[in-house]
Amino acid sequence: MRLLALIALAAATFAAPVSAAFVGNRSAWTQLDALGQFRYVQGFVDGWLGMDAGNPEMNQYMDDIRSCVIEMGLTARDFTEIVENQYEDLSNWEKPPYVMIIQGVREVCIGSINRARADRGQGLYGE
């Protein structure tokens, strides 16, 4: 449910070039050149990490994601690699790249998220 809420919020706040709006699956992603992919991920990530999720729990989750991304020093190249790695799973091919970013960053950052939650006396994310 939380993932669906993040995806819906991300889709609603996505602000990138018009052509990026049509990148709806792996096939469209692979048609972008490297610069187009970098632009896509940077535009999405800037909007996603800057959004207000609308409730305290989701805002805290997004704060934890932002902290992880900053601490790890993730770049557009890293986010592009996350998309590529997520598309290695054939069941993901019909999903848009922004979903791959959300899923992949969660996988990359889940340890950091749960450490931050533990420091605040909260249970592990997803419990």
Domain ranges of the chain: 2-119
Cα 55 to Cα 52, 81, 121: the distances in Å are 8, 30, 19
CA-nearest of 45, 67, 60 to 125 is: 60
Instruction: Read off the pTM.
Output: 0.81
Alpha carbon distance 53, 28 (integer Å):
28
Range of weakest confidence among 11-15, 24-28, 70-74, 83-87: 11-15
Do the beta carbons of residue 113 and residue 64 sit within 8 Å? yes
pLDDT tens digits for range 63-93: 999 999 999 999 999 999 999 999 999 999 9
For residue 53, the model assigns a pLDDT of 84
